[in-house]
Amino acid sequence: MRDKIINKSEELFLNFGFKSVTMDDLANELGISKKTIYVHFPNKTKLVEATTLHMFETISCGIDCISQLKKNPIEEIFDIKQFVMEHLKNEKSSPQYQLQKYYPKIFATLKTKQFDVMQNCVTENLNRGIKLELYRDNINVDFISRLYFNGMVALKDQDLFPLKSFSMNSLMEYYIEYHLRGICTSKGLETLTKLLKINQINK
């Protein structure tokens, strides 16, 4: 039952946001009483904490699987972006922004975990790209990896990028292209141009 509650919570939080969904909503969706939910989660904060951790672990495992394929590093970035967007349902409710606003302690913990995963993933991607001569060999890998993470976090700030003006999918695409154009060699830019064309065709 605990897993069912987490899975349904994840679905509702992603669609409607952490603030909007109540314990009553969750109980109604599952066809159970609130008492049953409280057996597993004493309050909504504990439920949000467990659900965000579950989402994080699911996405981290997916990113690891993609990274282990050792694909072209530029292609890998697009594959990871696609995987994350599918799992976060294009972030229609801007869950990370709401998490930061209403559950700051959970957000801070999650951000630290996300940084560790992304720092390893991006650093490995950059080093592999340099070896394959797709990325410039004079870039500072540690600086770029931290800048990339910081930019990804900023994209989810609705004060900077309101969802009525930008879809999360578009923001991610703009940012990835911006990132890659800054570090690619001429060889890398050829690959990037091909992938951008494929993306346009598949839209």
Question: Which CATH number fits the domain that encloses residue 108?
Answer: 1.10.357.10
The pair of structure tokens assigned to 99 is 């998490």
Amino acid at 21: V
Predicted confidence band at 156 (pLDDT cuts at 50, 70, 90)? confident
Instruction: Report the distance separating Cα 61 and Cα 83, nearest Å.
Output: 11
Instruction: Report the distance separating Cα 135 and Cα 130, nearest Å.
Output: 5
Instruction: Report the distance separating Cα 164 and Cα 57, nearest Å.
Output: 29
Read off the pLDDT of residues 52-104 as tens digits, 9 standing for 90 and up.
Answer: 999 999 999 999 999 999 999 999 999 999 998 888 765 555 777 888 889 99
In total, how many domains does the chain have?
1
What separation, in Å, do the N-terminal and C-terminal C-alpha atoms of the chain show? 38
Predicted confidence band at 203 (pLDDT cuts at 50, 70, 90)? low
Residue 92's closest CA among 166, 145, 29?
166
Count of all residues that appear for the chain in the document = 203
Q: Quote the domain boundaries for residue 159.
A: 2-202
Residue percentage of the chain with pLDDT more than 90: 75
